[in-house]
């Protein structure tokens, strides 16, 4: 068995209403209801477990752009995809920018440190959770990632930041 460790992740969530957000340096951002995916990475000491747990929690200190979305009661996290390969966050975001029939990029969101892909948040053109998940998995396949893990948010919600060494 291996530790979750470090790597990249994609959070698939649903906004159940249109949402106007005041997000740090982005000022006002409008998100329409629908299915979204946010691509991130976790290479710090807490790794993926700590970072994703932070995103899953509703009550938190808002640090990243995504915190303004995930702390809302109108945001329902559906699935989390984890990839242990390095440097996937930018590659998956660039792939999603190319797949205009499946994804619409939200400019600058979650990408203040990434001037190449310009966004890490995408509206998924999907009518169901299953269709949204299928499109995200297809994007991973398109960039050559063969091994991903799919989790429910409850997997991360039950662990504290100190239990980031959970074995799978």
Summarised one tens digit per residue, pLDDT across range 3-43 is 678 899 999 999 998 888 777 666 778 889 999 999 998 88
Nearest-angstrom CA–CA distance, 43 and 88:
12
pLDDT reported for residue 165:
38
Nearest-angstrom CA–CA distance, 12 and 76:
9
93: confidence class by pLDDT, cuts 50, 70, 90: very high
Mean pLDDT across the chain: 83
pLDDT reported for residue 135:
98
> Contact, 65 vs 54, CB < 8 A?
no
Summarised one tens digit per residue, pLDDT across range 114-147 is 777 789 999 999 999 999 999 999 999 999 999 9
Question: Could you tell me the residue ranges of all domains in the chain?
Answer: 7-156
Summarised one tens digit per residue, pLDDT across range 67-82 is 778 878 888 999 999 9
């Amino acid at each position: 068995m291996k530790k979750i460790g470090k790597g990249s992740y994609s959070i698939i969530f649903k906004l159940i209403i249109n949402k106007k957000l005041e997000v740090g340096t982005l000022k006002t951002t409008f998100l329409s209801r629908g299915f979204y995916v946010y691509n991130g990475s976790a290479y710090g000491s807490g790794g993926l477990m700590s970072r994703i747990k932070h995103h899953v929690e509703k009550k938190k200190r808002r640090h990243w752009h995504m915190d303004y979305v995930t702390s809302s009661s109108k945001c329902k996290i559906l699935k989390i995809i984890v990839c242990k390969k390095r440097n996937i966050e930018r590659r998956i975001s660039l792939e999603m920018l190319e797949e205009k029939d499946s994804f619409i990029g939200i400019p600058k969101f979650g990408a203040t440190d990434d001037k190449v892909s310009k966004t890490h948040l995408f509206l998924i053109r999907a009518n169901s959770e299953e269709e949204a998940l299928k499109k995200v998995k297809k994007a991973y396949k398109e960039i050559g990632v063969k091994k991903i893990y799919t989790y429910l948010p409850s997997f991360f919600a039950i662990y504290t930041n100190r239990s980031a060494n959970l074995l799978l």
